[in-house]
A and B are shown apart, each in its own frame.
Chain A
Amino acid sequence: MFPIDIRPDKFSAEMLDYSRKLGQGMENLLNADAIDTGVTPKDVVYSEDKLVLYRYQRPSDVAQQAVPLLVVYALVNRPYMTDIQEDRSTIKGLLATGQDVYLIDWGYPDQADCALTLDDYINGYIDRCVDHICETHGIDKVNILGICQGGAFSLMYTALHPEKVQNLVTMVTPVDFKTPDNLLSAWVQNIDIDLAVDTMGNIPGELLNWTFLSLKPFSLTGQKYVNMVDLLDDPNKVKNFLRMEKWIFDSPDQAGETFREFIKDFYQQNAFINGTAKVGNHPVDLKQITCPVLNIYAMQDHLVPPDASKALNGLTGSQDYTELAFPGGHIGIYVSGKAQKEVTPAIGKWLNERAS
């Protein structure tokens, strides 16, 4: 059999159909309002420099847990991914399980922030947010949910301040930065990070975007748009797609000194695995983490491969360590329909079972 049977009339019909859909999509694009992100009502409860700490408003019909949950997002991309739209919101799901949810928004660092270090972020900003929450609630400990790089920060924070963390949840968090399937890690080994930071000050979001898109360039910068044409006739789908597009390209610059430390210590030196992690002058010993730990990873994660996250098992001093594997990718773990049904309720249940 000859493998291709595309008749010219069929080809032309496909092309016209594509044009027609583009035309319809144009109307939806013209009518698209400004893209809103972050759908759950929230209040600013603390701010410092460019950091804003939000507290989400709880649903009136759900009894709230006494120990609040602080979400620590990565410095890369923006935290509204966790609350991207009404029916795809990790935050909303957590509130529904009775969590009192706080979230740190790191903002957009500029050149004035280039000297911020890991110590400033972890022993400074995160610690002051935790203190603020503890003071507000009259408690000594909070629950922490760390996401991706924010998970690595949360591990360091919990190891350095174990007395302030009741339960720790890590989501798609890199621990072993040198697993064989970690493309990002492989690529960064030959980069002169000192030269990059000394040259640029802050590391531009564009450079990070380029790196992430380079992981799957043809799918992420080509095929995705061709496939999208099929959905253009639905205004809601157009808006949802634009929302995701906004998030993908909404990459804050990275404070130079923090980037230098994080990439050199972790991506190049694999500091958690080699036991060389430190924040400022404080060595980080993951064995100091004795609280319950829930480690969630995505099985099709191309940014943080599953093995990179699973390496946490056995590294902490916790006697209550649980893993949860999600059948999806790095982004799907927050925004997919499946994640809303599986991941968020599981986090809530796990935390509620450990509420004292």
Chain B
Amino acid sequence: MSNETLFNDDWLKLQQRYWDGLAEMGRKALGTESAGASNPWQAAMDQWWKTLSPGASQPGQEFMDRLMEQGKSYFETVEKLTKGIAGTDMTQGWDTITRNLEDMQKAFMGGMADGDNSMRRMAGFWEMPLDNWQRMVSSLSPMMPGDLLRNMPHNPMQGDVERMLSAPGLGYSREEQGQYQDLIRRSMDYQRALQEYTGFFSKLGMKSVERMRDFLQAHADGSKPIDSARTLYDSWVSCCEAVYAEEVATPEYARIHGQLVNAEMALKKRMSVMVDESLGAMNMPTRSELRTLQERLQENRRENKHLRRELEMIKRSLAGAEKKPAAAAAKKAPVRKKAAATPAGNASQG
């Protein structure tokens, strides 16, 4: 396959047109229009990849997906940081960059206030830790998507729901009612933990913007301005990673992290118990029964291997005991003694 085919001329031409246009707008100091998440570059890139990806090997596809995803994040980040600064003088430039940074902070603050939707829009970049978590949760619970409870409002109605859940079950199905109540309670616990976790990241986002502002101010004293998108992006990553490293080393984060994992496990466990009960009602083997069998089987195997080893040792010591009289007899006959020494010598040479 040639490069021309792969590049897909239309795709590159479309991008070229888009970027020429944007450059022209910048030259006219009108670069205040955000390209947005669905800019032609991204759209063309997505289309191009959708066409070609089926031909790639599985690891290649996954890898390329990540490259595409991060490529978009890279340019989005740079666009947000540099929006409107082209063609400005020093004072206007600082005003603009300050406004851009403030916009980013507002987005993070909004994220905290409205269930982090605006943070998600603001920086796909800061989605990574959350995205990683959700992918992981989805892989553990195919029936429960990782973001199932993420944006579900809960605070206004929390008190009422908890009162309802604390009411005892009644009648013939009270045990079942109790289980469902417990399931809902654990769902709410998980939702609370997840929102505290995302809230923590919102705060980190704001701190990172502060760090970036400090970095740019310090850089203004240097000899050379940042003149490439990559350098600006790398600086942003460094600021984020530095803030992240400081914050996740705190006891507060350890608590939030532990709470999130524990809440997810508690929810999953309740679901497993309920699935087990349904299986039991259908006279099917349950996970709990299998676990008991696994433990017993392993105990048997452990004992079996231990006994087998002891048996081997007994056999060997018996064989050794039988050899001793033979060796003692051999000592009396010089010719046989020499012959017996040879195999032992070979063995020791490995």
Contacts and interface: CB of A to CB of B under 8 A. Distances in A.
B331 interface: no
B265 A222 contact: no
A186 B11 CA distance: 48
A260 to B, nearest CB: 12
A273 to B, nearest CB: 20
Contacts, number: 271
B228 A10 contact: yes
Interface residues of B, number: 109
A5 interface: yes
Contacts of A63: none
B302 A66 contact: no
Interface range for A: 35 or more
A246 B59 contact: yes
A163 interface: no
A13 B75 CA distance: 12
Contact of B241 (A10, A128, A216): A216
B171 to A, nearest CB: 30
B41 to A, nearest CB: 7
A195 B57 contact: no
Interface string A246-268: 10000000000000000000000
Contacts of A190: 254-255, 257-259, 262
B140 A5 contact: no
Nearest to A67: B350
A209 interface: yes
Interface stretch (B14-22, B155-163, B174-182, B321-329): B14-22
Interface string B227-266: 1111011100100110011001101011101110110011
26 contacts: A3-B219, A3-B226, A7-B23, A7-B86, A12-B20, A12-B22, A15-B75, A19-B12, A20-B12, A23-B7, A24-B3, A26-B6, A115-B298, A120-B298, A124-B305, A137-B350, A138-B349, A138-B350, A190-B254, A191-B258, A201-B291, A219-B241, A221-B131, A223-B234, A223-B237, A226-B71
Interface of A: 1-16, 18-20, 22-27, 29-30, 32-35, 66, 111-112, 114-116, 119-120, 124, 128, 136-139, 183, 186-192, 195-196, 198-201, 204, 206-207, 209-210, 213-214, 216-219, 221-223, 225-226, 228-229, 232, 241-242, 245-246
